Amino acid sequence: MPVPTIPDRSEPQTAAGYLAIMSRAIFQAGVSWKAIAARWDAYERLFDGFDPSVVAGYDDLDIERILSDGGVMRTYKKVAATVDNAKTLLALEREYGDFRNYLRSFASYDQLAADLKKRFKFLGDLSVYYFLFRAGERVPQFEDWEKTVAGDHPRMREMVALARSQGYEG
């Protein structure tokens, strides 16, 4: 079965779902999406299904275990960021009652994007848009948003086009 390079949209029902989408955005940054997709089962296994209550408790030995497994790309900073991001996600869940409540507490995409980039590690303009889009949250029209971010973004364009072809209207 071929490995899809463009991930589908989903609406996470758990904190683990949000952490998985966020982490995928981070691990894909600067790397072929296909390369991460081909290894995604290993990421899910090594990060215990991205359960933030488990991942937040990881220590240096756990980070070393993940990096030495061989099933994932060995990027210490991104692995460590996933642990820190799990802690941040749990703190926001405690504060807002649910991570979705946090995401929907902002008046605009720009405010939410700025707060996500401030609170979470390795989230930049592209990964925030990717994360929110994939998680089913409201994002600006891609064609408008793309004009505000330097560079060309063919994979993001393809992901949005695929979602639109499947009935997404945003």
pLDDT surpassing 50 at residue 18: yes
Mean pLDDT of the region 90-94: 98
Q: How high is the pLDDT of residue 106?
A: 98
User: Which one is predicted more confidently, 38 or 164?
Assistant: 38
Q: Is residue 65 part of a domain?
A: yes
Q: Which domain holds residue 95?
A: 15-123
pLDDT surpassing 80 at residue 77: yes
Q: Is residue 159 part of a domain?
A: no
Q: Is residue 47 part of a domain?
A: yes
Number of Cβ within a 10 Å radius of residue 37: 17
Q: Is residue 46 part of a domain?
A: yes
Q: How high is the pLDDT of residue 66?
A: 98
Contacts of 137 by beta carbon, 8 Å cutoff, 6+ apart: 103, 104, 112
Q: The domain spanning residue 101 has which CATH number?
A: 1.10.340.30
- How far is Cα 169 from Cα 13, in angstroms, rounded to an integer? 21
Q: How high is the pLDDT of residue 167?
A: 67
Q: Work out how many domains the chain is built from and give that number.
A: 1
User: Which one is predicted more confidently, 75 or 31?
Assistant: 75
Q: Is residue 2 part of a domain?
A: no
pTM: 0.86
Largest CA distance in the chain: 45
Give 40's Cβ-side CA count (13 Å radius): 18
Q: Is residue 60 part of a domain?
A: yes
DSSP string covering 67-108, please? HHSSSS---HHHHHHHHHHHHHHHHHHHHHSSHHHHHTTSSS
Residue with tokens 């009935």: 167
Q: Report residue 145's pLDDT band, with 50, 70 and 90 as the boundaries.
A: low
The number of residues making up the chain comes to: 170
Q: Is residue 169 part of a domain?
A: no
Contacts of 105 by beta carbon, 8 Å cutoff, 6+ apart: 96
